[in-house]
Amino acid sequence: MESVQKLIFELMERGILIEPSAFDFIKEHGIPVEKIYSLEIEEGVLTRKHLEPLVEEVRNEERVEVIRPVKRVKAEEYDFFVEVENRDTSNGNISQKGVELFVEMFKDRYEKIRDILMQRAELRNAVSIGKLKDIKGNGETAIIGVVREKTKTKNGNYILELEDTTGVVNVFLKDDATKLGDYVLEDEVIGLRGNYNGNFFYASNIVFPDVPLPTDINKVSDPVSAVFISDLHFGSKEFIVDIERRFLKWINDKDDKIASSVKYLFIAGDLVDGIGIYPEQEDDLVVKDIYKQYELLERFVEKIPEHIAIVLCPGNHDAVRSAEPQPPLPKELVPELYHLNNVFLATNPAYVRIHRKDGEKGILVLMYHGYSFTSLIDMITPIRKYGTTNPQYVMKEVLKKRHLAPAYGCIIQAPHEHDQLVIDKVPDIFHTGDLHSHCVDNYKGITLISSSTFQAQTSFMDRVGHVANPGKVTVVELNTREVRVLDFYN
């Protein structure tokens, strides 16, 4: 009150009068006298109109902004969604079905990949090989077929024998097609553009089925992540216990920003070292009982937080049949895993869709152990020297060919009326293992991940040309598709 009275006297000394309503307004709203001194008062009278604009200024200054700590939403607060599309292994017994099942399988491969190729602009007017003889003149045309044989001439050119359901034609590669000849494999399905002269089809271009360019990059709205590992090899003398310990400590750390975002864990085969996988393997084992090896796997899985969905598929070291597609691990090997609601046992290969909810498609993962890769790297000359330490190159090749084992003999493939190794859906993430190397790359919007291993270099790896790069763990943020690589070895 004293300050207001002081204000009145000072204003009067300046020749300024104050209206009674203005005096009441000052007291009602608690307007500081310092604000009033700053006013420009015309005609020598302080009125309520002069004071009204000051009310909002006072309120803004008195308003205290309350900043509350932002609660970081953790993955455990979301539900997981896992949908495993297993490759059918029911008819994989050749002794029951006979060689005709192989014929059906190759026919199915041809038809599926032919339909993919027909979507390419260069091949939309393709004709069957049987109709080439009806083409008049020497105009350019296109054909699609299976490479039955590939021969390299003394001059370094390639001659292919191409077959479809209507016939066979000899193909001479020229121009741009010559450069791609090194990448062509016997038994794969390709398209060709060129000219037919009655004896040879002279191909100027090779068209691989390939994956299309993306229209957008698929993501989810929830801030959750997926972790990708492979080739654990429990039971091996070279199993690196420190990697297991550090990984488990990290994934259980609720205060770690990355670990607390993990909702999914993929393990792409070779879960144990196995028994009798290669000669004298017993000398390399610390656990020589296959059931006890899988008990180590079970203990590992049980230490993963239960809010994380875990997807496992077998590899060539696992105790299931070696012919692909391989069935999921059976209950007699991992009985404890069959009791866990967050564990999903998949075939090798398998499509796995995760985190589909609220109208979102989720993320589609193509999970494949990758046993065909060593043979394919040796067959494709341009990647032979560096392919085992740079898995992204062979991964891109199988995507281009739309088949996980395009050359017959690079794996043992179980006969089936449908070819289960055709890449008939374009994944968001392609996850593999086997080579014990590590890579992260991107091909036409597909995140490529070749996981490393929990195992150090072995004599067997030396023999097959694999170089261990252990302890690398790949994390993909599903809402941004950003990738991080964590090193639990160095």
Considering the domain architecture, whether residues 340 and 463 belong to the same structural domain is answered as: yes
Query: Quick check: 415 and 92 in contact, CB under 8 A?
Result: yes
Same domain, 201 and 240: no
Position 420 in a domain: yes
Domain boundary among 207, 230, 245: 207
* Residue 147 domain flag: yes
Confirm whether 100 is domain-assigned: no
CATH number at residue 182: 2.40.50.140
Tell me whether residue 34 is exposed, middle or buried, using C-beta atoms within 10 angstroms of its C-beta: 0 to 12, 13 to 18, 19 or more.
Answer: exposed
Residues 386 and 446 in one domain: yes
Which segments of the chain have a pLDDT < 70?
Answer: 1-15, 27-30, 33-34, 37-38, 42-43, 55-73, 90-98, 136-138
Nearest C-alpha neighbor of 106 from the set 441, 470, 407: 407
Residue where the block lists tokens 């390399």: 284
Rounded to whole angstroms, the Cα distance separating 108 from 388 reads: 30
Domain count, the chain: 3
Are 375 and 460 found together in one domain?
yes
Cα-atom radius of gyration of the chain, to the nearest Å?
34
Q: Which domain holds residue 20?
A: 2-62
**Residue ending a domain, choose from 182, 207, 232:** 207
Q: Residue 46: CB partners within 8 Å, gap ≥ 6? A: 11, 16, 17, 18, 19, 22, 36, 39
Do 142 and 225 lie in one domain? The reply is no
Residues 80, 188, single domain; the answer is no
Q: Is residue 110 part of a domain?
A: no
Write the CB contacts of 405 (distance below 8 Å, at least 6 apart in sequence): 324, 372, 376, 398, 411, 413, 421
On whether both 199 and 333 belong to a single domain, the answer is no
Specify whether 194 is located in the same domain as 303: no
Residue 31: predicted pLDDT: 72
Assess whether 238 and 336 both reside in one domain: yes
Same domain, 182 and 279: no
Which of 270, 299, 272, 298 lies closest to 285 in space, CA to CA?
A: 272
Q: What strands lie across the sheet with 262-268, from one edge to the other?
A: 343-345, 309-313, 262-268, 225-229, 472-477, 483-487
Q: Are residues 166 and 288 in the same domain?
A: no
In this prediction, residue 160 carries a pLDDT of 95
pLDDT at 146: 96
**pLDDT tens-digit readout, 363-397:** 999 999 999 999 999 999 999 988 889 999 999 99
Q: What CATH number corresponds to the domain at position 38?
A: 1.10.8
Say if pTM beats, i.e. exceeds, 0.85: no
Is 108 among the domain residues?
no
Nearest Cα to 413, choosing from 84, 187, 115, 161?
187
- Confidence (pLDDT) at 6: 65
At 154 the pLDDT is 86
- Give the pLDDT of residue 66: 41
Residue 276 lies in a domain: yes
Please indicate, yes or no, if residue 239 is contained in any of the structural domains.
Answer: yes
Domain end: 172, 207, 242, which one?
Answer: 207
- CATH code for the domain in which residue 83 is found: 3.60.21.50
Would 67 be classed as within a structural domain?
no
Same domain, 321 and 360: yes
